[in-house]
Amino acid sequence: MSDRLPRVLVVTLGGTIASVPDPAGHDAVPRLGPDELIASVPGAEHVATLRTESFRQFPSGDLSVADVVALARLIHRRAPEIDGVVVTQGTDTLEETSYLLELLLDRDAPPVVLTGAMRNAGLAGADGPGNLLAALRVAASPEARGAGPLVVFADEIHLPRFVRKQHSSRVHGFGSANAGPVGWVVEGRVRIPLLPRRREPVCSPDSVPAELPAVGIIRVGLGSGPVLPEHVTGFAGLVVEAFGGGHVPSPIVGSLAAVAEHIPVVMASRTGAGEVYESTYAFPGSERDLLEHGLISAVALDGIKARLQLILLLASGADRDRIRARYESAV
């Protein structure tokens, strides 16, 4: 039996975990590279044999879908030589990066664990080193093999399809309202007792075209007006974040139906938790009314993730039947 340590690739994308403030303790920007991040984690060398890659170095709000596709290609290319991957990035879009990787990576890809920090390295109680150590443990763990991408934060393990950043500043800033964490890290041990089945990827990263389809997202509010044709010019698809279980003001149903005749329109709940209903209500603007007018239910995906999935589905040439079937199998 081999006693070698697992080989884990640490890929850094910037963000708060890589940020340090100015001498006055303000104006933090991403500056730390992967070797500096690893040096801040006591005992990291005992968890895995570490390899590093500085992939991007900026705030996560500047990441694009194309950046994440390139990251997926990097992971795919390095897979034969590694046993796991840790990706560090800013928390603002961590849930989106993780979900895109879930949609792109093969089921037999090595464990890919994403983490970050809510407090930069210059603050008291910086959480980056602890999150990185937990992520390394998960990526190196046999329990994570076959699980697909995971998010590790504050010693909790979450699925990308459910996890959301739920607070702008608290250290325990991530949660999964629909499912809760699927595992945890305690005393260096990795526990993942609640893993569901893996789904097939939407497409391979190498098949994604350089020019991606534009998909818009709108959130309805009290008294929202109609979605006019000029609002969606240039879009190949649209996501509507509706009230509650999938409702909109009745005066805008006609405009949404007209848009849905030309491009796929996916309906998610703006609550960020629960499912879009199918047949609970039948009033004008209800979920039943919208589905009968050609909108597609996102089921339990929130609007942000529904948009990412629609981008990849359209990029892979999916027709409406395939789009609808993919959302129906999203849970």
Q: Is 92 annotated as a binding residue?
A: yes
Q: Is 321 annotated as a binding residue?
A: no
Report the catalytic residues: 16
Beta-strand runs (E) in the chain: 7-12, 19-20, 29-30, 49-54, 84-88, 112-115, 150-153, 156-158, 164-165, 174-175, 183-186, 189-191, 215-219, 237-242, 265-269, 296-297
**DSSP per-residue codes, 56-124:** --S-GGG--HHHHHHHHHHHHHHGGG-SEEEEE--GGGHHHHHHHHHHHS-TTSPPEEEE--SS-TTST
CA distances from residue 121 to 13, 29, 59, 100, 201 in whole angstroms, order as listed: 15, 10, 15, 27, 35
Tell me the sheet residues that pair with 151. 114, 158
Q: Which residues are annotated as a binding site?
A: 60, 91-92
Q: Which residues are annotated as a binding site for substrate?
A: 60, 91-92
